[in-house]
Structure 1
């Protein structure tokens, strides 16, 4: 039996996935969460074989949650199921430890296939993502600038783009203000941007925030 945790801030999405998974004889939904913080609690308190994780959520984003989950359970498969197109996040999140990435518009049967694949210890990569990865390998200089960021830098970048202050980031990420400021400086240098408003504009244009 594959024990699944569903993490999505929309109750209807969770209910739909739970209903669909109930038709699979080897699937059991054992936990649900509506935020990134609750997802981390699941890892602490529940025995699960795979987490199906959304990216855009309140309190703690899927990117932050992925980092926290992998820090506590590095071998636990995390399948990203997002409303964002694969071209926006897939290669970055795979690099940061996700086991697979699917857009919510995909065929439901593909989710089933992806869960079984990642639970066997393999990555689930769609044809579109495979093409992206091939392009990245072949044309290193053409990678989007946000894909050059480290895990922490990406977290800081997305939080800054959403208007979060350095002080609030430091508190929520358990870092010093000085450390967060250092990450911000690195992000600005790597992204070749001058201000937080530039970061927000980039993120909106690239479809990384809504």
Structure 2
């Protein structure tokens, strides 16, 4: 970048959250909110026209969710730093996000100072996970070895798991990901087998009871 300010693109589909992030970041002398987006598609539109030091990206957004958007961001600009933030279970979603190429993960419940520290670290080319989350992440990866938790799914499987858990149809998922319905159906079968579930209804109940989706 040509100036000393770190340029931030913030993405969240809740206007109140978006405004809160804007106010927090703009109050810092070295940070600038250079863009705001309420959907994954809007993130990509802005990124195609502008450069950012970091994208602060929510997972749960309409249309392209955060994980879909993360994939698309790296296709558009492979080296773009992205900090994922979410209110979903930290260890699991952090594991998935970091495997998918995020530069950091922070909970929406984090203190403002921690969020700002994470933004600065990622914007300057570093990775960020708070120490307590790093410990939980290591434990989650160890637990996943038994093949019975979503953290044992591949990145693509988790994308499809997330969409199925939110009630999306095979056709809709196929269109979003640019794959055939037959391929999505095969992924679905693998997911159900890995999680020892029998149907989409079981998968949705499992995801809701585990707090993985609302």
Same fold (TM over 0.5): yes
Given the alignment, which residue of 47, 53, 59 partners 2:57? 53
Tell me the equivalent position of 1:154.
158
Q: Which moved more, 1:192-201 or 1:84-93?
A: 84-93
Runs of 5+ unmatched residues, structure 2: none
**Which secondary structure state, in structure 1, belongs to the residue aligned with residue 9 of structure 2?**
strand
Tell me the equivalent position of 2:38.
34
Tell me the equivalent position of 1:172.
176
Superposed structure 1 runs of 4+ greater than 6 Å apart: none
Structure 2 Cα separation of the partners of residues 139 and 198 of structure 1? 21
Tell me the equivalent position of 2:203.
199
**Which secondary structure state, in structure 2, belongs to the residue aligned with residue 24 of structure 1?**
coil
Structure 2 Cα separation of the partners of residues 36 and 103 of structure 1? 19
Give 1:13 deviation, angstroms.
Answer: 1.2
Structure 2 Cα separation of the partners of residues 126 and 32 of structure 1? 25
- Checking the alignment, whether the CA contact within 8 Å between 2:91 and 2:140 is kept in structure 1 is no
Tell me the equivalent position of 2:107.
103
Alignment root-mean-square deviation, CA: 1.8
Structure 2 Cα separation of the partners of residues 31 and 150 of structure 1? 31
Q: Which moved more, 1:21-30 or 1:86-95?
A: 86-95
Runs of 5+ unmatched residues, structure 1: none
Give a deviation string over 1:51-98, Cα, whole Å, max 9, x none. 001111111211211222123222211111212241341122112111
Given the alignment, which residue of 126, 129, 132 partners 2:133? 129
Given the alignment, which residue of 35, 47, 66 partners 1:62? 66
Pairing 1:120–2:117 present: no
Give 1:199 deviation, angstroms.
Answer: 0.9
- Checking the alignment, whether the CA contact within 8 Å between 2:81 and 2:122 is kept in structure 1 is yes
Structure 2 Cα separation of the partners of residues 138 and 166 of structure 1? 31
Given the alignment, which residue of 176, 182, 187 partners 1:183? 187
Structure 2 Cα separation of the partners of residues 3 and 82 of structure 1? 21
Pairing 1:16–2:38 present: no
Provide the TM-score with structure 2 as the length reference. 0.90
Provide the TM-score with structure 1 as the length reference. 0.92
Residue correspondences, number:
210
